[in-house]
Copies of this chain bind each other. A is one copy, B any other.
């Protein structure tokens, strides 16, 4: 068999069920899939291939899966930091969204996000925002694999001035994008149990069920949300969602920080998954989720960056590093959240959380060829004893040299293959300038 691509001379971190690491191996790719993941055997003849890529002793691993982001919010990167949550939302983010979130800005912001994701080794993302149709167009152009959720909220929102139409807009979005491209999976994103009525929450779940789509929702993010829902519904946010019959294996609970033992039990039994976005939760002072307990309860837990208004980057390597460290210090246990666990969260467990673990998340024959190569020829990655340690504790997104999605190179030698970076940056800067001028006008200092 003639392969399309052969990647040789790499340290292969497979993230397969045994977490096998092949010290010197090769990966064969044909028709967008991996057909072989093998150790190098001296004297053994490698199959022919149209293209052979030398990993030069670098780390070859599955592309990262970012289970929570709001792509167009890259335009609000660093717009307002270090503020109380409600000031940040009400005085900065919501007014900026109301004024600037238009089809053009969603498209420009999403493209900006896609360049950042690709260049830092993310091959799949799970997004939720408004004007999601325009995000989908940008993502399609970028070649990223994505779950894209149209936002649903019981307030006037960008593109949905009349909240009574929020679920029907989402239904239309899903129907429109359901069979456009194998890389794009439309989804529905209910903002939160405190911003959506019972009716909205249920209707959205019906749409998700009837279309086989992922149902995303922010839940139990802050203590005040927990208390508010307790007061309104006399149960925890998780118990409330369960009472509405929303939790199942196609539900992604985002943040899920304020859970008690009973909540963990409910989530585990339901099959629902959790997206952990520690950097955002740290920056907003929301709290520290009991991730080890979730994993022990066999809840699928993926990692996410959250949007750039609260992170302020989309680098999953940094997210891994902080995840490993945060839970060690919060439990005063250096054995908590080991590097392999964290890598799984950023790959196979994240894939499972969004329902894609049969096709992506590990380097195994038969899976989609979503592969990244990390250049280890750098002082901060020298010496190299354990590749899994470097992935979590020493590497950065900027160490990613090559990125392949479904067999197609999207990044080569740290450069984008099919997107015009300068044009995308110029467009994003123009949007940023408009936002800046509006702010200066509002707040003359």
In the bound complex, CA of A285 to CA of B321 (Å): 14
> B390 near A78 (CB under 8 angstroms)?
yes
Q: Is the Cβ of A382 less than 8 Å from the Cβ of B288?
A: no
A396 and B394 contact, CB distance less than 8 A: no
Q: A223 at interface (Cβ–Cβ under 8 A)? A: yes
Count A-side interface residues using an 8 Å CB cutoff. 76
Name A215-249 residues within 8 Å CB distance of B: 223
Docked Cα-Cα span, A178 to B85, in Å, equals 51
Whether A269 sits at the interface, judged by CB under 8 Å, is no
Contact residues of A: prevailing secondary structure: helix
Enumerate chain B residues within 8 angstroms of A394, measured Cβ to Cβ. 77-78, 312-313
CB distance from A377 to the nearest CB of B (A): 7
Chain B neighbourhood of A210, CB < 8 A: none
Known: A329-B282, A425-B379. A81 touches B386 (CB 8 A): yes
Contact of A84 among B334, B425, B429 (CB under 8 A): B334
Stretch of A156-164, A353-361, A430-438 with 4 or more beta carbons under 8 angstroms from chain B: A430-438
Partner of A312, one of B115, B389, B433, B436: B389
A428 within 8 A of partner (CB): yes
- Whole-angstrom distance between the Cβ of A92 and the nearest chain B Cβ: 11
Using a CB-CB cutoff of 8 Å, which residues 279-301 of chain A contact chain B? 279, 281-288
Q: Mark A117-146, 1 if CB is under 8 A from B, else 0.
A: 001100000000000000000000000000
Q: How far is the CA of A233 from the CA of B150 in the complex (A)?
A: 63
The answer, among B285, B288, B424, for a CB contact under 8 Å with A333, is B285
CB pair A432 B383 closer than 8 Å: yes
A188 to B100, CA, bound (A): 57
Q: Report chain B residues within 8 Å CB of A337.
A: 82
**A85 cross-chain contacts in B, Cβ below 8 A:** 334
Question: In the complex, which residues of chain B have a beta carbon less than 8 angstroms from the beta carbon of A281?
Answer: 329
Q: Is A314 an interface residue (CB 8 A)?
A: yes
Q: Is A167 an interface residue (CB 8 A)?
A: no
Contacts of A313 in B (CB 8 A): 380, 393-394
Contact with B along A395-412 (1 / 0, CB 8 A): 011110000000000000
Question: For the complex, is A326 an interface residue (Cβ under 8 Å from B)?
Answer: yes
Q: Which of B285, B393, B398 contacts A332 (CB 8 A)?
A: B285
Contact assessment for A432 and B384 in the assembled complex, using a CB-CB cutoff below 8 Å:
yes
Shortest Cβ distance from residue A10 to the other chain B in the assembled complex, whole angstroms? 17
> Which B residue sits closest to A338, measured CB to CB?
B82
Question: A34: which B residues are within 8 A, CB to CB?
Answer: none
**Hey, which bits of chain A sit against chain B, CB under 8 A?**
74-75, 77-79, 81-85, 88, 112-113, 115-116, 119-120, 223, 279, 281-288, 311-315, 318, 321-322, 324-326, 328-329, 331-339, 377, 379-380, 382-386, 389-390, 393-394, 396-399, 421, 424-425, 428-429, 431-433, 435-436, 439
Can you spell out 21 A-B residue pairs with CB atoms less than 8 angstroms apart? A77-B383, A77-B390, A77-B394, A78-B385, A78-B390, A81-B393, A82-B338, A83-B335, A112-B379, A285-B332, A286-B329, A311-B393, A318-B318, A379-B424, A382-B428, A382-B432, A383-B429, A383-B432, A383-B435, A385-B439, A398-B398
| Given A326-B329, A382-B428, 9 further pairs, Cβ under 8 A | A81-B338, A82-B324, A84-B335, A120-B380, A282-B329, A285-B333, A285-B334, A312-B389, A318-B318
